Structure 1
Amino acid sequence: MHNFRRATKEALRYWKTLVLASICSFAIAALWGANVGAFFPILEVTINGKSVHMWMDEETEEARERVESTKASIEQQELALTALPEDSASFTAASTALSGLRSELVAHEAKFLSCQKLDPWVKRFVPSDPFSTIAAIVGVLILSTLVKNVLLITNEVLVGRVALNISRNIRQNIFAKAMGMGRAEFAKHGTSGFTANITHTTEMLSNGLMNTFGAAVREPMKLASCLLGASLICWRLLLMSVVIAPLVGGMLFWITKRLKSIAKGVLAEADGFHSVMLESIGNIHTVQSFRQEEHEKERFGRVTMAMRNVSLKFIFFTSLSKPVIEFLGLGMLGTTIIGGAYLVLNKETSLLGIQICEEQLSVSALLVFFGMLVAASDPLRKMSAIYSSIYAGSMAADALYPLLDQVESIRDPETPQSVTSPHKMLSFKDISFGYTPDQPIIHHVSLNIPFGSTVAIVGHNGSGKSTLIHLLSRFYDPVEGVVELDGVDFRDMLVDDVRKRSALVTQHTELFNKSVAYNIRYGNPHATDEEVERAARQAHAHEFISTVLPEGYETVVGQNGNRLSGGQRQRIALARALLCNPEILILDEATSQIDMKSEQLIRESLSEHRGERTMIIITHREKLLELADEVYEVAEGRLVPRPHLSRNAA
């Protein structure tokens, strides 16, 4: 529950809202018990045919008589006590009896005083005849029920606002964590893991918080108001009615322990569910081209069935708590019915020699006592579902907060160093790296790239070409060695400072479901329309944008650019990179989906800007290699110089 307590502490920032919600809960609970208690005068009037005025007069007179008779008894007992030896058993018994009489006198005087204080108000506001009295009380009950429901709505809205604010903050923090997380840490969770945490897991936490500050406060208060009302009628009878509570409490403790473990299973299955769903939908072209639709349906069916089975267990144990709670309510009511009926029918004040009440219970008082216990069963029943939700929220918090607490491996240094712009030298110094410790990919790579030069890197697939680019973009840090700008280690610079100096174009083009202009301007949000068009012309994208696309630069490209061809997507991505005017332009197979004519035009455009920025080109196209000042081949994890024709490229 430690992480769940952290979430509740965050809620304390909205303490004013929570205080107001608690006031509403207190008022709801008070009205809940008062509405049941209001039936007492109705029953008195109905059963005895007396008005409240008459009943009040009788109660006052009866209390006065009891005070006088008790005082007389005390005087007699005190007189008898003086005639007894102080060391005798009779004296001790008489002293005990005298103490009891004095306690009774205090109780009778308190009742008499309260009747005297209440009598003027009753005479002033309560009708004098029985029927009008009943009608007035019913009217007050209806009004109080309306007020109670208004307060209930207010309470739930206030608590919901707090819970949703916290869940929104957590969603934003998780999203921000995903945006700033290094590729290695991100891969541990994956897109499906972040999706599950942002949606399903956070929703579980939100529900737990709503119940914590809402129903978990309100329902126990309602229960307490009913038990308080019952105790005012006969507290010993109430105490007798809860003898089965320890047994029920033990059963509930066992159920909640089972709910904890099952909630963990629900979160795990939700992660698998999102993983299969996103993977299948994201790879829909591969699924359909290899005719694996039925296979993916079966796979999705298995994970949804697993999630359904775990969720069904959660529902079963949540439902199991309801009859346990109802058993408690029924046991309390049954015990009270048997004991109370015996006291009323036999006009007794004790059971099995144990005194239960000071004076005989009336039928009206016993019925209201029953009503209080019946009213107590409703919050008892709801509390089982409340605590199930809270435990689920606790499991959700245990999944979310360790993720939020995770320290990124790619982060800003405490005292960052700066480098002039543009830089003079980009250096790889004795770099070694592997995505897993036991599988190194590149070994002791060293390379100096002066600003304005063009370097091409070739090699077979999987040799480590793109890995060098990942290190250059600081998606990862090298295991050994350093990447430097003008002698300053990337790890000693701000991450944003490193990344803003370069622009990356890969063969796997990623576009947003926005307009063409939005996707190009993504590289420089403050760029003008003229600058966007100029970048598109440099990437040889302007022609198809202005002539082929129906709305030109305002054409929405679809999810990940699915309304465009592969070559069109790559040219838009290249325009986006060029719009940044980066110090380092990285092309990782960036022309792999472009026709030879377009590639020739792009090559000519890049050639015109040689010397203005550093260009690193990963390609298998021989024509692009002509742009390079130096060509290197990655072979067996090492960088090997290769002869090239760059001097004849222009």
Structure 2
Amino acid sequence: MHNFFRAVRIAFRYPGTLSTSIICSLLVAVIWGGNIGTLFPIIKVTFQGRSLHEWVDSGIAEATTAQEQLRTELEQLEKAPAGEKAKPDHRQRRRAVQNELTVQQDTIDRFQTLKPYVHRLLPDDPFQTVLVIVSVLLVTTGLKGGFLLGSVVTTARLVQKVTLELRNSYFKHVLKMDPVMLGRHGTGTLLTLCNEGTDGIGNGLRCLLGVGVREPLKMFVCAVGAAWISWQLLLFTCLLVPLAALVSRALAHKIRRECKRELHQGVQLNNHVLQAFDGLQTVQAYNMEEPTKQRFHDVNVLRNRKALRIVLLQTLAKPIAELLGIAAVSLAILAGAYLVLNDTTHLFGIRMFRQAPDVETLLLFYALLLGVSEPSRKLSEVFSGIQQGCAMADRFYDIVDAPSDIVEPEEPVALPTPHRSIAYRDVNFAYNPAQPVLRDIDLTVNFGETLAIIGPNGCGKSTLAQMIPRFLDPVSGSVSIDGIDVRQTELADLRRRIGMVTQKTILFDETVLENIRYGSPDATREQVYAAARRARAHDFIQDSLQDGYDTVVGRFGGMLSGGQRQRIALSRALLRDPEILILDEATSEIDLQSELLIHQALEELPHDRTMIIVTHRVGALDLADRIVVMDAGRIVDVGTHAELLGRCEYYRHFRATVPEQAA
């Protein structure tokens, strides 16, 4: 419940909407109890055939007469002989008469309080009295409907504000995730929690702040009315409350557990859908439509089973609540019947009424108990919704509270512009402690230098490059720029100096112009055109794309070829005019012509920036001033092409076995 109430606390940031919702719910509850209370005068008038004027006047007269008789009896008891007064029966009767005198005085006071209002506001005719009460009932019911509408609308508005804030904070947190955390949770999990998770929390909030406030208030108003009639009998009918609490607690545990399992199945389903959609061409190429469809069906069936189990538990809560409510009313009916039929005020030796109840009073008491029972039945739905919200909130905040390995320094140090060098000192890194990725890396890259990094797959080349923009931090050692550890710098300051093009080019479902301008939102069209020309992208954008720079490229740039996507990505990086340009396998999956064009663009770049090229392509090595050879997470050798040919066996083997391609 702790995580769910963290979401509830967000609602208190909107006091106006919250207070309006509660006030509307309170007014609904007051009218609900008041409408039930109108049953009493209608029964009095209908059953006894007299007006409320007569009922009040006769009530005062009867109580006054009874009071006079009691006073007379009390005087006689006071005049009794001393020996008689000492007897227990005499003392007990004297106390009973005194108590009854108090009861009759209370009755007179109540009638005296009602008398001016009844005489002034209600007609003397019995039928006209009923007509007035029914008219008031209709008007108040209409008002209750209006306040109910206000309660529902303001609650919905409040819930939407909270879920909006939850989604925004969640998305903000996800955008700051490092690659390790992103891979640990998975896209399917993150997407599910962003949509279904926040919706589940919102539904729980709607149940709690809407029905969860309104129905208990209705119960409270009716319970106060019933307690005013006989709080002792009300407590007697609450004997089943502990049992209801135990049953509710057991159901809460089961519902929350099943909701978490259903959420897990939803994550699995979303993961399968995302993989199938992203790899649709592969699915079709290998005729895997049927197995993929069958797996989707199996996961979907498992999720449906969990959902049905949740529905079963939620449905079970309703009849249980209804049964316990009716059982409580039945207890009251039996107790009331015993009191009326035996004309007594005591049950099991406990005083239930100050004076023997009449039928009308008991009927009003029963009506008020039903007024408590009906909202309690609705609370079973609230209960289920809140449990579902709790399950979603637990999973939601597991993600939000997870600490990132990449943290901002409390007092960031500004980097110089331009930098003089990038240095790796004793750097070690591992995703899994048993499988190190980088070991004892020592390397210095000078400003203006082009450094190529080569080595077999999995040797740590990309990991090494990703430490500069702090996508990853070393487990030990440091990466520094001009002697300043990058962990001591502000992330935004560090990354605005870096341009990056990776093997997997990410373009957004926007125009070519917006994709190139991504990260440089203030760039003019002329600046975009200039960057595209430098990246050898301007000609194909203007000549091959229907709307030129205003062409929408589709999700991930699906409307473009691989070479076109890479050149647009390079245009985006060059538009930033970065001090450090990182090309991480940027030409590994494109055609020879596109690679040639990219290499030409890179050759023509001014030498006023540091360029790091992670590659498997021999052609890219011609751009490098120095080459780093890596194997098994270590740097095997560093040098120029000529130096490595003379002393590095791996480099000679690499040059001999890899085709020249764009060289």
TM-score band (shorter)?
over 0.9
Q: Are residue 357 (structure 1) and residue 356 (structure 2) matched? A: no
Partner residue of 1:489?
485
Correspondences of 1:96-115 after superposition (within 5 Å): 96-115=92-111
Letter in 2 for 1:544: F
Q: How does 1:244-643 map to 2 (within 5 A)?
A: 244-344=240-340, 347-350=343-346, 355-639=351-635, 640-641=637-638, 643=640
Aligned counterpart, 1:22: 22
TM-score in terms of structure 1 length: 0.92
TM-score (norm 2): 0.91
Farther off after superposition, 524-533 or 280-289: 280-289
Whole-angstrom distance in 1 between the partners of 2:311 and 2:137: 36
State the Cα deviation string for residues 102-132 of structure 1 (Å, max 9, x = none): 3333332232223223222222221222222
Of stretches 556-565 and 454-463 in structure 1, the one that deviates more from structure 2 is 454-463
* More off after superposition, 521-530 vs 156-165: 156-165
For residue 121 of structure 2, what is the aligned residue in structure 1?
125
**Secondary structure, aligned partner of 2:435:** coil
* Paired position in structure 1 for 2:46: 46
Give the superposition deviation at 1:496. 1.8
Q: Is 1:200 aligned to residue 196 of structure 2?
A: yes
**Aligned amino acid, residue 403 of structure 1:** I
One-letter code aligned to 1:71 = R
Q: Secondary structure at the match of 2:623?
A: coil
1:7 corresponds to which residue? Answer: 7
After TM superposition, the structure 1 = structure 2 runs for residues 155-170 of structure 1, keeping only pairs within 5 Å, are 155-170=151-166
Structure 1 residues 535 and 37: CA distance shift in structure 2, 3 A? same
Helix, strand or coil: the match of 1:530? helix
Provide the rounded CA distance (Å) in 1 between the counterparts of 2:467 and 2:240: 67
Q: 1:576 Cα shift?
A: 0.5
Once residues 97 and 32 of structure 1 are traced to their aligned partners in structure 2, the CA distance between those partners, rounded to angstroms, is: 42
State the Cα distance separating 1:294 from its structure 2 match. Answer: 2.0
Describe the shift of the 1:76–1:184 C-alpha distance in structure 2 as closer, same or farther (beyond 3 A): farther
| Aligned CA distance change for structure 1 residues 589 and 353 (closer, same or farther; 3 Å) | closer
Which residue is 2:221 aligned to? Answer: 225
Structure 1 residues 347-380: Cα deviation after superposition (integer angstroms, max 9, x where no partner): 5545566654344433333332222222222111
**Could you list the runs of 5+ residues in structure 1 that have no partner in the other structure?**
none
How far 1:16 moved relative to its partner?
4.2
Percent sequence identity over matched residues? Answer: 40
Give the Cα separation in 2 of the matches to 1:256 and 1:150: 33
User: Secondary structure at 1:242's aligned position in 2?
Assistant: helix
Asked whether the equivalents of residues 503 and 584 of structure 1 are also in contact (C-alpha less than 8 Å), the reply is yes
Per the alignment, residue 179 of structure 1 pairs with 175
Deviates more, 1:341-350 or 1:268-277: 341-350
1:338/1:12 CA distance change after superposition, 3 Å: same
The worse-fitting range, judged by mean Cα deviation, of 331-340 and 551-560 is 331-340
Which residue among 173, 186, 190 is the counterpart of 1:190?
Answer: 186
Give, in angstroms, the shift of residue 169 of structure 1. 2.0
How many residues are matched? Answer: 644
Check whether the contact 2:84–2:90 (CA below 8 A) recurs between aligned residues. no
Query: Contact (CA 8 Å) 1:570, 1:593: kept in 2 or not?
Result: no
Task: Supply the distance in 2 between the matched residues of 1:26 and 1:63 (Cα, whole angstroms).
Answer: 36
**1:454/1:249 Cα in 2 relative to 1: closer, same or farther (>3 Å)?**
closer
Partner amino acid, structure 1, of 2:64: R
User: What SS does the aligned partner of 2:436 have?
Assistant: coil
SS in 2 for 1:222: helix
TM-superposed deviation, 1:531: 0.4
Secondary structure in 2 matching 1:248? helix
Equivalence for 1:74: 74
Cα pair distance change 1:68/1:561, threshold 3 Å: farther
The Cα of 1:18 is off from its aligned counterpart by 3.0
* Residue 651 (structure 2) aligns with: none
State the alpha-carbon separation in 2 of the partners of residues 325 and 621 from structure 1.
Answer: 71
Query: Contact conserved, 1:453 with 1:610, CA < 8 A, in 2?
Result: no
Could you tell me which amino acid in structure 1 is paired with residue 484 of structure 2? Answer: V
Confirm or deny: 8 A CA contact 1:445 1:638 kept in the other structure.
yes
Structure 2, gaps ≥5 residues long: 644-661
Whether the aligned pair in 2 keeps the contact of 1:626 and 1:645 (CA below 8 Å) is no
What letter corresponds to residue 243 of structure 1 in structure 2? L
What amino acid sits opposite 1:512 in the alignment?
F
3-state DSSP of counterpart to 2:441: strand
Q: Which amino acid aligns with 2:142?
A: L
Deviation at 1:300, TM superposition (A): 2.1
> How much has 1:477 moved relative to structure 2?
0.8
Q: Distance in 1 between matches of 2:490 and 2:298?
A: 45
1:644 match: 641
Cα distance 1:549–1:77, how it changes in 2: closer, same or farther (>3 A)? farther
Shift of 1:29: 1.7
Greater shift after overlay, 309-318 or 357-366?
A: 357-366
- My pick for the range that moved more, 141-150 or 385-394, is 385-394
For residue 563 of structure 1, report the CA deviation from its aligned partner: 1.6
For 1:456 and 1:421, the matched residues in 2 are separated by: 23
Please report the RMSD computed on the Cα atoms of aligned residues, expressed in angstroms: 2.5
Change (3 A) 1:79 1:283: farther
Distance 2:78 2:211 in 1: 54
Q: CA contact under 8 A between 2:18 and 2:154: conserved in structure 1?
A: yes
Question: Aligned to 1:6, what secondary structure does the other structure show?
Answer: helix
| CA distances 1:544-579 after superposition (whole Å, capped 9, x unpaired) | 222222222122111111122222211111111110
Q: Does 1:83 align with 2:79?
A: no
Bigger drift between 590-599 and 293-302 goes to: 590-599
Specify the alignment match of 2:659 in structure 1: none
How many angstroms apart in 2 are the aligned matches of 1:339 and 1:480? Answer: 77
What pairs up with 1:124-163 in 2 under 5 angstroms? 124-163=120-159
8 Å CA contact retained: 2:563, 2:595:
no
Which residue does 2:64 correspond to in 1?
64
Partner of 2:239, secondary structure, is coil
Q: CA-to-partner distance for each residue in 1:249-304, whole Å, 9 max, x for gaps? A: 33223222322332332333333233223222232222222222222222222222
Tell me, what secondary structure is at the counterpart of 2:431? coil
